[in-house]
Amino acid sequence: MSDFLSNLHPSTERIDEERQRIEIELLLEGIYRMYGNDFRDYAYDSICRRITHATKQQGLPSVTALLERVLHDPDSMELLLRSLTINVTEMFRTPSLFQTFRTKVVPFLHTYPSIRIWHAGCSTGEEVLSMSILLQEEGLYEKARIYATDIDQEALEQAQSGRVLIGSMQQYTNNYMMSGGTGSFSDYYSVNSEDGNKVTFNRSLLDHVIFAGHNLVTDQSFNEFHVIFCRNVMIYFNRKLQQRVHSLFHDSLAQFGVLAIGERETIRFSGFEQYYEQISESERLYTKIK
């Protein structure tokens, strides 16, 4: 009887949660229909936290007020977009992955006359610079083309600059050495004379990189690749969207192409597990077999 009565008279907390969910769904639908950015299938708890933070950041009393603002103010939408897209990255992040890539994937790449690599969700470019350094050291860079894409235009512009905060260099140097780097990491960058807080990486590291906007949620395959890196992006997607992105990657990989995903991600239950063999389960490296 108590459960029946609680359904008739839901708690204030339950009402507030339902109201918030409705507001968020309306906001995401409005963003999609007005701007074409589709966050509707992002994991709810994650997107809810980011929207709540953005609402407070813009000094608004409710998500509904945020919806009204972004529908009428593109600048407000740009501010919200930066809150909804997470740019957490570092050079040679998870060094053991890059070490495994050197030993188990690089020999395979040497068998091709040219190679295409896609960094999907490249953020501010640290992973792209890492790949360029690795390819240079392994004698593969001259025959490589790296496609670096992201939904966040501001992040892409930062990536194209090749500039990184100097405070990160000690950590990045350690990552580089642990990843199997064969040179001196400091040879790849110089301290900016006009901005001592940043270093600029050698422009040659970006000579074979093509930066472009690409939305994993709505955009299609645009080339065939020998390697796809998409790490710690799909953890923010719900199951339906994860399956959609796995389908995109499968369509975009050449036969025996390599897929690298994040350490908290998996191809299990994606509907595509049978199309891959493990190169390293611990490093989330897979090769497409069909």
**pLDDT one-digit tens code per residue, 180-217:** 999 999 999 998 767 778 999 999 999 999 999 999 98
101 shares a domain with 80: no
241 shares a domain with 182: yes
Secondary structure of residue 183 in the 3-state scheme: coil
72 shares a domain with 52: yes
Q: Is pLDDT at 84 greater than 90 in this prediction?
A: no
114 shares a domain with 188: yes
| Number of domains, the chain | 2
What pTM does this model have?
A: 0.83
The Cα-based distances of 91 to 97, 122, 232 in angstroms read 12, 12, 14
Q: In this predicted model, what pLDDT tens digit does every residue of 151-189 receive, in sequence order?
A: 988 899 999 999 999 999 999 999 999 999 999 999 999
62 shares a domain with 132: no
138 shares a domain with 251: yes
Cα(217)–Cα(188) distance, rounded to whole angstroms? Answer: 34
Residue percentage of the chain with pLDDT more than 70? 95
190 shares a domain with 102: yes
Q: Which domain holds residue 40?
A: 2-84
Please indicate, yes or no, if residue 164 is contained in any of the structural domains. yes
Q: In this predicted model, what pLDDT tens digit does every residue of 106-161 receive, in sequence order?
A: 999 999 999 999 999 999 999 999 999 999 999 999 999 999 999 988 899 999 99
Cα(159)–Cα(15) distance, rounded to whole angstroms? Answer: 43
157 shares a domain with 103: yes
Maximum Cα–Cα distance across the chain: 74
Please indicate, yes or no, if residue 210 is contained in any of the structural domains. yes
